[in-house]
Structure 1
Amino acid sequence: MPAYSPPTPTPDPTAQECRVPHQTGNPWTVLSSTTQYENPWIEVIEHKVLAPTGKPGLYGVVRPRSLATGVVAIDGEGRVTLVGQHRFPLDQYSWEIPEGGGDKSVDPQLSAARELREETGQTARHWLPLMTMHLSNCITDEVAHTFLAWGVEEGAACPDDTEALSVRRVPFAEAVAMAMTGAITDSMSVASLLKVQLMALNGSLPDDVARLIRS
């Protein structure tokens, strides 16, 4: 019997027509912008636009008033601190790294340190920037900065009066497994934990925190 050869795909005659030239400039034309809703935390702006194709349309953007921050905090036993809370928009419980908003005029690391202290009672002697993220960039211009923190000391938490939080500490490998299996779904938490894991694998973490993660 002759060897099997898969059929040769038939070229799509429309493929070339659908190809869009690579562009890095802004192809949108904003005709007008109007704030449709605002409160102390967000502003919703409606833009009348011409799309990249030239067609008129509307584009709504949610603009948070705060900068988002998050912390992967590693204690002396190599454990990650996770915070659990019910997320109102999703109507479901979520385990996450300590996160919160900060004034856009304040150093994001200072805001992240404040959130870590308020939510968990922890402070950290060592900090390393992890990543800057754009969250859900089709509907919001929200920016997040996340950090790795170690040299952790315990203290008393003082969460906001709107927060009902649970705190747990799990081995770093378990936190990564939670991100991989979907037990953690928060985007800042998943991205930050996997970034730390990658840095550990390629040897780009400081030795003292790398030893904690491997322990």
Structure 2
Amino acid sequence: MSNEECEAKVIEGDDELAGGEPMLVLGDEDPRDAELHEKILGEDMAYQGKILDVRSLDVELPNGRRSKRDIVRHPGAAAVVALTDSGKIVLVRQYRTALDRVTVEIPAGKLDPGEDPLECAKRELREETGFTPRRIRYLTTIASSCGFSDELIHIYLATQLEFDGASPDDDEFVNVDLVPLSELIDAVLDGKIEDAKTVVGALALDAVSHRL
């Protein structure tokens, strides 16, 4: 397809793009999206682990050809941006084997089967940091790496914190820091914080902080 044909197809698909302000159309809500879909023909277990599975999928591409996709199946997770009354964010420091270094992150954890993400968020905050919130609200949900994983992380904002004492799992080793939101935002924008849920959580809180 030529560049001219591509441009015509874009303009045809959305009149707003042709004449007015661009508008956001979410995935699978644009009529053109139907022709992008792959058809899943089969799915086999390639690896079954403690917290995730790897599946090998046979798919039919939009052009009719067949291909393979390796997909990580994950039960999902919840994460918490916990804000103290003095305006500091509760962060955890933990060693991440995949990166072979300690990272600084907002508290988070995997969903148990059938668990409400909100309850998971409160549980993980208490276990990892010892804080319990008197108020907690939903911020956003992210697909952590949708190119190969179906993991969704539900992010919450916790405020009016009370300290009850941490109780991490036996195989969980963390240190807790309280950091001003402005310092966290600076670290995110400088690329010093790379953890996706922490980046999104910090920026989401910064965006809504004037409403608190």
Q: Give the Cα–Cα distance (whole angstroms) in 2 for the partners of residues 189 and 143 of structure 1.
A: 14
Letter in 2 for 1:42: L
Q: Give the Cα–Cα distance (whole angstroms) in 2 for the partners of residues 162 and 52 of structure 1.
A: 45
The corresponding residue for 2:148 is 139
Q: Deviations over 1:141-181 (max 9, x none)?
A: 00110000100011211111222211100111111112111
The corresponding residue for 1:75 is 84
- Give the 5 Å matches for 1:47-196: 47-64=57-74, 66-196=75-205
Q: Give the Cα–Cα distance (whole angstroms) in 2 for the partners of residues 156 and 196 of structure 1.
A: 25
RMSD in angstroms over aligned alpha carbons? 1.8
What TM-score results when the alignment is normalised by the length of structure 1? 0.82
Gaps of 5+ in 1: 1-12, 211-215
Q: Give the Cα–Cα distance (whole angstroms) in 2 for the partners of residues 161 and 186 of structure 1.
A: 23
Gaps of 5+ in 2: 14-31
Identity between Structure 1 and Structure 2 (%): 33
CA displacement at 1:104 relative to structure 2:
4.5
**1:38 and 2:48 matched:** yes
Q: Would the aligned equivalents of 1:85 and 1:164 in 2 still touch at CA under 8 Å?
A: yes
What TM-score results when the alignment is normalised by the length of structure 2? 0.83
The corresponding residue for 1:213 is none
**1:28 and 2:38 matched:** yes
The corresponding residue for 2:22 is none
The corresponding residue for 2:4 is 16
Structure with greater helix percent: 2
Q: Give the Cα–Cα distance (whole angstroms) in 1 for the partners of residues 41 and 85 of structure 2.
A: 55
Task: Return the index of the structure with the highest Cα Rg.
Answer: 1
After TM superposition, which residue ranges in structure 1, 4 or more long, deviate above 4 angstroms? 17-22
Letter in 2 for 1:38: Q
Q: Any idea what SS the aligned residue of 2:182 has?
A: helix
Q: Would the aligned equivalents of 1:67 and 1:142 in 2 still touch at CA under 8 Å?
A: yes
